[in-house]
Protein backbone atom coordinates (compact mmCIF):
# COMPACT_ATOMS: atom_id res chain seq x y z
CA UNK A 1 0.00 0.00 0.00
CA UNK A 2 2.82 2.39 0.88
CA UNK A 3 4.55 1.73 -2.41
CA UNK A 4 1.26 2.34 -4.19
CA UNK A 5 0.80 5.67 -2.46
CA UNK A 6 4.36 6.77 -3.17
CA UNK A 7 4.03 5.90 -6.83
CA UNK A 8 0.78 7.80 -7.01
CA UNK A 9 2.38 10.80 -5.34
CA UNK A 10 5.10 10.81 -7.96
CA UNK A 11 2.40 10.57 -10.58
CA UNK A 12 0.59 13.55 -9.03
CA UNK A 13 3.70 15.65 -9.28
CA UNK A 14 4.18 14.70 -12.90
CA UNK A 15 0.56 15.48 -13.71
CA UNK A 16 0.79 18.81 -11.92
CA UNK A 17 3.88 19.77 -13.83
CA UNK A 18 2.25 18.96 -17.15
CA UNK A 19 -1.01 20.68 -16.35
CA UNK A 20 0.57 23.80 -14.93
CA UNK A 21 2.84 24.14 -17.92
CA UNK A 22 0.05 23.76 -20.45
CA UNK A 23 -2.37 26.01 -18.54
CA UNK A 24 0.28 28.62 -17.89
CA UNK A 25 1.22 28.92 -21.53
CA UNK A 26 -2.37 28.79 -22.79
CA UNK A 27 -3.68 31.48 -20.47
CA UNK A 28 -0.92 33.84 -21.48
CA UNK A 29 -1.39 33.16 -25.15
CA UNK A 30 -5.12 33.92 -25.04
CA UNK A 31 -5.82 37.66 -25.50
CA UNK A 32 -6.24 39.63 -22.31
CA UNK A 33 -4.41 42.14 -20.19
CA UNK A 34 -4.73 41.55 -16.45
CA UNK A 35 -2.51 44.55 -15.71
CA UNK A 36 -4.96 46.82 -17.46
CA UNK A 37 -7.89 45.24 -15.63
CA UNK A 38 -6.17 45.61 -12.29
CA UNK A 39 -5.07 49.19 -12.89
CA UNK A 40 -8.45 50.18 -14.25
CA UNK A 41 -9.51 50.97 -17.76
CA UNK A 42 -8.78 54.67 -17.36
CA UNK A 43 -5.32 54.26 -15.89
CA UNK A 44 -2.49 55.72 -17.90
CA UNK A 45 -0.14 53.41 -19.75
CA UNK A 46 2.51 54.33 -17.19
CA UNK A 47 0.36 52.98 -14.38
CA UNK A 48 -0.50 49.87 -16.39
CA UNK A 49 3.19 49.27 -17.04
CA UNK A 50 3.93 49.62 -13.35
CA UNK A 51 1.22 47.13 -12.48
CA UNK A 52 2.45 44.80 -15.19
CA UNK A 53 5.91 44.98 -13.73
CA UNK A 54 4.63 44.31 -10.22
CA UNK A 55 2.83 41.22 -11.55
CA UNK A 56 5.97 40.10 -13.34
CA UNK A 57 4.22 40.12 -16.69
CA UNK A 58 7.02 42.01 -18.37
CA UNK A 59 9.41 39.08 -17.93
CA UNK A 60 10.00 36.26 -20.43
CA UNK A 61 7.41 33.51 -20.29
CA UNK A 62 9.87 30.89 -19.10
CA UNK A 63 11.05 33.13 -16.28
CA UNK A 64 7.45 33.80 -15.29
CA UNK A 65 6.76 30.06 -15.20
CA UNK A 66 9.88 29.39 -13.17
CA UNK A 67 8.92 32.04 -10.65
CA UNK A 68 5.40 30.70 -10.47
CA UNK A 69 6.58 27.15 -9.83
CA UNK A 70 9.01 28.38 -7.21
CA UNK A 71 6.17 30.19 -5.44
CA UNK A 72 3.99 27.12 -5.83
CA UNK A 73 6.60 24.99 -4.13
CA UNK A 74 6.32 27.35 -1.16
CA UNK A 75 2.54 27.15 -1.16
CA UNK A 76 2.06 30.56 -2.73
CA UNK A 77 -0.53 30.53 -5.49
CA UNK A 78 -0.28 34.24 -6.19
CA UNK A 79 -2.83 37.05 -5.91
CA UNK A 80 -6.20 37.20 -7.63
CA UNK A 81 -6.61 40.40 -9.62
CA UNK A 82 -10.38 40.13 -9.24
CA UNK A 83 -10.69 39.70 -5.50
CA UNK A 84 -7.21 41.11 -4.74
CA UNK A 85 -6.81 38.33 -2.21
CA UNK A 86 -4.21 35.56 -2.20
CA UNK A 87 -5.55 32.77 -4.41
CA UNK A 88 -5.00 30.37 -1.53
CA UNK A 89 -7.31 32.49 0.59
CA UNK A 90 -9.95 32.47 -2.15
CA UNK A 91 -9.72 28.74 -2.70
CA UNK A 92 -10.11 28.13 1.02
CA UNK A 93 -13.33 30.15 0.80
CA UNK A 94 -14.76 28.81 -2.44
CA UNK A 95 -13.62 25.21 -2.68
CA UNK A 96 -15.30 23.90 0.50
CA UNK A 97 -18.60 25.37 -0.71
CA UNK A 98 -18.40 23.31 -3.88
CA UNK A 99 -17.10 20.27 -2.04
CA UNK A 100 -19.99 20.37 0.40
CA UNK A 101 -22.46 20.50 -2.45
CA UNK A 102 -20.83 17.64 -4.31
CA UNK A 103 -20.58 15.44 -1.24
CA UNK A 104 -24.30 15.71 -0.57
CA UNK A 105 -25.19 15.30 -4.23
CA UNK A 106 -22.92 12.32 -4.75
CA UNK A 107 -23.81 10.57 -1.52
CA UNK A 108 -27.53 10.63 -2.09
CA UNK A 109 -27.10 10.15 -5.81
CA UNK A 110 -25.12 6.97 -5.20
CA UNK A 111 -27.45 5.61 -2.54
CA UNK A 112 -30.59 6.19 -4.57
CA UNK A 113 -28.93 5.21 -7.84
CA UNK A 114 -27.62 1.94 -6.44
CA UNK A 115 -31.03 1.10 -5.00
CA UNK A 116 -32.77 1.76 -8.28
CA UNK A 117 -30.10 -0.16 -10.21
CA UNK A 118 -30.28 -3.20 -7.96
CA UNK A 119 -34.07 -3.30 -7.80
CA UNK A 120 -34.32 -2.75 -11.52
CA UNK A 121 -31.92 -5.55 -12.39
CA UNK A 122 -33.19 -8.01 -9.82
CA UNK A 123 -36.91 -7.58 -10.28
CA UNK A 124 -37.07 -7.15 -14.00
CA UNK A 125 -40.38 -6.74 -15.80
CA UNK A 126 -42.39 -3.63 -15.07
CA UNK A 127 -40.12 -2.66 -12.19
CA UNK A 128 -37.20 -2.64 -14.54
CA UNK A 129 -39.12 -0.47 -17.00
CA UNK A 130 -39.95 2.01 -14.27
CA UNK A 131 -36.39 2.00 -13.03
CA UNK A 132 -34.99 2.55 -16.51
CA UNK A 133 -37.46 5.34 -17.13
CA UNK A 134 -36.44 7.08 -13.93
CA UNK A 135 -32.77 6.68 -14.79
CA UNK A 136 -33.15 7.93 -18.35
CA UNK A 137 -35.31 10.86 -17.30
CA UNK A 138 -32.84 11.81 -14.60
CA UNK A 139 -30.03 11.85 -17.12
CA UNK A 140 -32.02 13.78 -19.69
CA UNK A 141 -33.22 16.66 -17.55
CA UNK A 142 -31.08 19.77 -18.06
CA UNK A 143 -29.58 20.73 -14.73
CA UNK A 144 -30.28 24.44 -15.06
CA UNK A 145 -33.92 23.82 -15.92
CA UNK A 146 -34.33 21.48 -12.98
CA UNK A 147 -32.67 23.99 -10.67
CA UNK A 148 -35.08 26.78 -11.62
CA UNK A 149 -38.05 24.44 -11.43
CA UNK A 150 -37.11 23.30 -7.93
CA UNK A 151 -36.76 26.92 -6.83
CA UNK A 152 -40.17 27.76 -8.21
CA UNK A 153 -41.82 24.75 -6.62
CA UNK A 154 -40.22 24.61 -3.21
CA UNK A 155 -39.67 28.32 -2.60
CA UNK A 156 -42.22 30.31 -4.56
CA UNK A 157 -45.12 27.92 -4.39
CA UNK A 158 -44.67 25.76 -1.29
CA UNK A 159 -42.51 28.18 0.76
CA UNK A 160 -40.66 25.20 2.14
CA UNK A 161 -37.04 25.90 1.29
CA UNK A 162 -34.89 28.98 0.69
CA UNK A 163 -34.29 30.15 -2.85
CA UNK A 164 -30.57 30.80 -2.80
CA UNK A 165 -27.39 31.23 -0.82
CA UNK A 166 -25.83 29.19 1.92
CA UNK A 167 -27.47 30.87 4.91
CA UNK A 168 -30.35 33.20 5.65
CA UNK A 169 -29.71 36.92 5.20
CA UNK A 170 -27.77 38.40 8.08
CA UNK A 171 -26.83 35.06 9.61
CA UNK A 172 -23.15 34.69 10.34
CA UNK A 173 -21.45 31.48 9.22
CA UNK A 174 -19.92 29.06 11.72
CA UNK A 175 -16.26 29.26 12.62
CA UNK A 176 -14.26 27.82 9.78
CA UNK A 177 -13.01 24.31 10.41
CA UNK A 178 -13.75 22.56 7.14
CA UNK A 179 -15.43 25.47 5.38
CA UNK A 180 -18.51 23.31 4.90
CA UNK A 181 -21.24 25.05 6.83
CA UNK A 182 -23.33 22.01 7.75
CA UNK A 183 -20.33 20.16 9.12
CA UNK A 184 -18.81 23.16 10.86
CA UNK A 185 -22.14 24.01 12.46
CA UNK A 186 -22.46 20.46 13.76
CA UNK A 187 -18.92 20.51 15.06
CA UNK A 188 -19.77 23.76 16.83
CA UNK A 189 -22.90 22.22 18.25
CA UNK A 190 -24.98 24.97 16.71
CA UNK A 191 -28.09 23.09 15.67
CA UNK A 192 -30.15 26.06 14.42
CA UNK A 193 -27.25 27.09 12.21
CA UNK A 194 -26.87 23.51 11.01
CA UNK A 195 -30.53 23.37 10.08
CA UNK A 196 -30.31 26.72 8.29
CA UNK A 197 -27.30 25.55 6.29
CA UNK A 198 -28.95 22.20 5.59
CA UNK A 199 -32.12 23.84 4.34
CA UNK A 200 -30.08 25.95 1.94
CA UNK A 201 -28.12 23.03 0.51
CA UNK A 202 -31.11 20.84 -0.26
CA UNK A 203 -32.20 22.34 -3.57
CA UNK A 204 -28.77 22.82 -5.19
CA UNK A 205 -27.69 19.38 -4.02
CA UNK A 206 -30.83 17.79 -5.44
CA UNK A 207 -30.27 19.61 -8.73
CA UNK A 208 -26.81 18.07 -8.97
CA UNK A 209 -27.92 14.74 -7.56
CA UNK A 210 -30.62 13.92 -10.09
CA UNK A 211 -28.32 13.25 -13.08
CA UNK A 212 -26.03 11.23 -10.80
CA UNK A 213 -28.97 9.03 -9.82
CA UNK A 214 -29.57 8.24 -13.46
CA UNK A 215 -25.95 7.56 -14.24
CA UNK A 216 -25.36 5.36 -11.21
CA UNK A 217 -28.65 3.50 -11.66
CA UNK A 218 -27.88 2.65 -15.27
CA UNK A 219 -24.33 1.58 -14.53
CA UNK A 220 -25.31 -0.55 -11.55
CA UNK A 221 -28.22 -2.10 -13.39
CA UNK A 222 -26.04 -3.13 -16.32
CA UNK A 223 -23.39 -4.56 -13.99
CA UNK A 224 -25.95 -6.35 -11.86
CA UNK A 225 -27.54 -7.99 -14.86
CA UNK A 226 -24.16 -9.33 -15.87
CA UNK A 227 -23.26 -10.51 -12.38
CA UNK A 228 -26.63 -12.09 -11.63
CA UNK A 229 -26.00 -14.58 -14.38
CA UNK A 230 -22.81 -15.87 -12.81
CA UNK A 231 -22.45 -19.34 -11.33
CA UNK A 232 -21.57 -18.20 -7.81
CA UNK A 233 -24.78 -16.21 -7.62
CA UNK A 234 -26.77 -19.27 -8.65
CA UNK A 235 -24.86 -21.25 -6.09
CA UNK A 236 -25.70 -18.75 -3.38
CA UNK A 237 -29.35 -18.89 -4.36
CA UNK A 238 -29.24 -22.68 -4.39
CA UNK A 239 -27.81 -22.65 -0.89
CA UNK A 240 -31.06 -21.02 0.24
CA UNK A 241 -29.80 -17.53 1.02
CA UNK A 242 -32.45 -14.85 0.97
CA UNK A 243 -32.81 -12.94 -2.24
CA UNK A 244 -31.69 -9.60 -0.79
CA UNK A 245 -28.68 -11.20 0.87
CA UNK A 246 -27.68 -12.64 -2.47
CA UNK A 247 -28.13 -9.32 -4.24
CA UNK A 248 -26.51 -6.99 -1.74
CA UNK A 249 -23.87 -9.20 -0.14
CA UNK A 250 -22.71 -11.25 -3.08
CA UNK A 251 -23.76 -9.70 -6.37
CA UNK A 252 -23.60 -5.99 -5.68
CA UNK A 253 -20.05 -5.96 -4.44
CA UNK A 254 -18.87 -7.25 -7.78
CA UNK A 255 -21.33 -5.16 -9.74
CA UNK A 256 -20.04 -2.02 -8.10
CA UNK A 257 -16.64 -2.12 -9.72
CA UNK A 258 -17.55 -0.34 -12.96
CA UNK A 259 -19.87 1.97 -11.03
CA UNK A 260 -17.04 2.99 -8.72
CA UNK A 261 -14.97 4.04 -11.71
CA UNK A 262 -17.82 6.10 -13.10
CA UNK A 263 -18.51 7.70 -9.74
CA UNK A 264 -14.89 8.65 -9.37
CA UNK A 265 -14.86 10.34 -12.73
CA UNK A 266 -18.16 12.06 -11.99
CA UNK A 267 -16.86 13.42 -8.72
CA UNK A 268 -13.91 14.95 -10.50
CA UNK A 269 -16.16 16.38 -13.23
CA UNK A 270 -18.48 17.94 -10.69
CA UNK A 271 -15.68 19.81 -8.97
CA UNK A 272 -15.25 21.94 -12.06
CA UNK A 273 -18.75 21.57 -13.46
CA UNK A 274 -21.09 23.13 -10.93
CA UNK A 275 -21.08 26.65 -12.35
CA UNK A 276 -24.69 26.56 -13.59
CA UNK A 277 -26.12 25.36 -10.31
CA UNK A 278 -23.91 27.72 -8.36
CA UNK A 279 -25.07 30.66 -10.45
CA UNK A 280 -28.76 29.85 -10.13
CA UNK A 281 -28.55 29.26 -6.39
CA UNK A 282 -26.01 32.02 -5.75
CA UNK A 283 -23.77 29.38 -4.27
CA UNK A 284 -20.31 30.95 -3.91
CA UNK A 285 -18.29 27.95 -5.05
CA UNK A 286 -15.41 27.08 -7.29
CA UNK A 287 -17.54 27.19 -10.44
CA UNK A 288 -18.46 30.83 -9.94
CA UNK A 289 -14.92 31.70 -8.97
CA UNK A 290 -13.53 30.04 -12.07
CA UNK A 291 -16.06 31.71 -14.33
CA UNK A 292 -15.09 35.10 -12.98
CA UNK A 293 -11.38 34.34 -13.22
CA UNK A 294 -11.57 33.32 -16.86
CA UNK A 295 -13.59 36.39 -17.82
CA UNK A 296 -10.99 38.64 -16.20
CA UNK A 297 -7.86 36.81 -17.35
CA UNK A 298 -7.05 36.33 -13.70
CA UNK A 299 -3.97 34.23 -14.36
CA UNK A 300 -3.13 33.22 -10.82
CA UNK A 301 -6.70 32.33 -9.99
CA UNK A 302 -7.02 30.22 -13.14
CA UNK A 303 -3.82 28.42 -12.30
CA UNK A 304 -4.93 27.91 -8.73
CA UNK A 305 -8.24 26.41 -9.76
CA UNK A 306 -6.53 24.20 -12.33
CA UNK A 307 -4.18 22.84 -9.71
CA UNK A 308 -6.97 22.20 -7.25
CA UNK A 309 -9.07 20.38 -9.81
CA UNK A 310 -6.09 18.35 -11.04
CA UNK A 311 -5.14 17.33 -7.53
CA UNK A 312 -8.75 16.49 -6.73
CA UNK A 313 -9.00 14.28 -9.80
CA UNK A 314 -5.85 12.42 -8.93
CA UNK A 315 -6.82 11.98 -5.29
CA UNK A 316 -10.29 10.75 -6.20
CA UNK A 317 -8.91 8.28 -8.69
CA UNK A 318 -6.43 7.08 -6.11
CA UNK A 319 -9.29 6.48 -3.71
CA UNK A 320 -11.16 4.66 -6.45
CA UNK A 321 -8.22 2.34 -6.88
CA UNK A 322 -8.06 1.69 -3.16
CA UNK A 323 -11.77 1.00 -3.11
CA UNK A 324 -11.32 -1.36 -6.03
CA UNK A 325 -8.83 -3.37 -4.07
CA UNK A 326 -11.23 -3.50 -1.15
CA UNK A 327 -14.16 -4.59 -3.25
CA UNK A 328 -12.20 -7.16 -5.22
CA UNK A 329 -9.36 -8.84 -3.31
CA UNK A 330 -7.99 -10.12 -6.58
CA UNK A 331 -7.02 -6.57 -7.49
CA UNK A 332 -3.55 -5.71 -6.30
CA UNK A 333 -2.47 -2.17 -5.75
CA UNK A 334 0.71 -1.56 -7.74
Partner 1 sequence: MARVTPSMARGTPINRRQLLAGSLIGAGAALAGCSTSQPGTTAGTNRAAPPPLNGRSPDTLVVAVDAAVEDLDPATNLDWAFGLAPVYDTLVGLVGSSAFTTRPQLATSLTPASKDFTTWLCTIRPGVRFQDGTICDAAAVKAAITRTIDLPGGIGYVWYIADPDRQIVLEGTDTIRFELGTPRPFFNQELAQEYGFYIASPTACAAHSTGKNDLGHAWLQSHPVGTGPYKLRSLIVGQQATFVRNPDYWGGWRGRHFQQVVALTIPETSTRQQLMLNGGADIDLLTNPEDMVQLEQDPRFTVNTQHTLTMDYIALGQYGPLADTRARLAMNYAFDIAGYIKGIERNTDYYPHGVFPTLLITADPAINSVPYDLHTAKQLFDAAGVRSGTSLSYEYYTGFGDQAGAVLQASLAQIGIRLQLIEKSYSGFVEDYFSNAPSSQRPNMYFFSWWPGYDNPFNYAQPLFTKSGWGAAGGNAGLYYNPEAESLIMSMENAVIDDELRAKSSRVQQILSVTDPAWIPVAQEKVAIAFRNDIRGFVANPVYEETFDFYALSRSSSSQLS
Residues binding partner 1 (CB under 8 A): 30-34, 36-48, 50-51, 54, 82-85, 90, 93-94, 148, 151-152, 155-156, 159, 162-167, 169-170, 172-173, 279-282, 284, 288-289, 292, 294-297
**Alpha-carbon span 315 to 113, nearest angstrom:** 23
End-to-end CA, the chain: 8
Q: Which is nearer to partner 1, 213 or 302 (CB)?
A: 302
Give min distance, CB of 80 to partner 1, in A.
10
Identify which of 5, 67, 46 has the alpha carbon closest to the alpha carbon of residue 334. Answer: 5
Collapsing DSSP to helix, strand or coil, 260 comes out as helix
CB of 85 to partner 1, least distance (A): 7
11 vs 33, which CB is nearer to partner 1?
Answer: 33
SS (H, E, C) 247-261: HHHHHHHHHHHHHHH
Cα dist. 175→79, 187, 193 in Å? 24, 9, 11
DSSP state of 171: P
Q: Which is nearer to partner 1, 127 or 279 (CB)?
A: 279
Residues 6 or more apart whose Cβ sits within 8 Å of residue 291: 275, 279
Q: How far is the CB of 158 from partner 1 (least distance, A)?
A: 11
Cα–Cα distance measured from residue 229 to residue 46, given in angstroms and rounded to the nearest whole number: 75
Residue with smaller CB distance to partner 1, 247 or 281: 281
CB of 295 to partner 1, least distance (A): 5
CB closer to partner 1 out of 53 and 243 = 53
To partner 1, the closest distance from the beta carbon of 108 in angstroms equals 23
**CB of residue 31 to partner 1, shortest distance in Å:** 4
Hey, which residues does 79 pair with through a beta bridge? 86
Question: Considering beta carbons, is residue 34 or 214 the nearer one to partner 1?
Answer: 34
Amino acid sequence: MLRFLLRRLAFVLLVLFGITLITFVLERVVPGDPARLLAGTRASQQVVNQVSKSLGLNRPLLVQYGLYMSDLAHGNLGISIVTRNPVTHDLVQYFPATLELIIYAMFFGIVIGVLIGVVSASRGGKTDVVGETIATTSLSIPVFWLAILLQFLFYSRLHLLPVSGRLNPGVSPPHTITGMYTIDALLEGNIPLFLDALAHIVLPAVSLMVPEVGLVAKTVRASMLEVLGRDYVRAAQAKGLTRWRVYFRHALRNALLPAVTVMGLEFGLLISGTVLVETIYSWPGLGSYTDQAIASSDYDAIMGVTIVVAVAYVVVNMLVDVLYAYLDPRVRLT
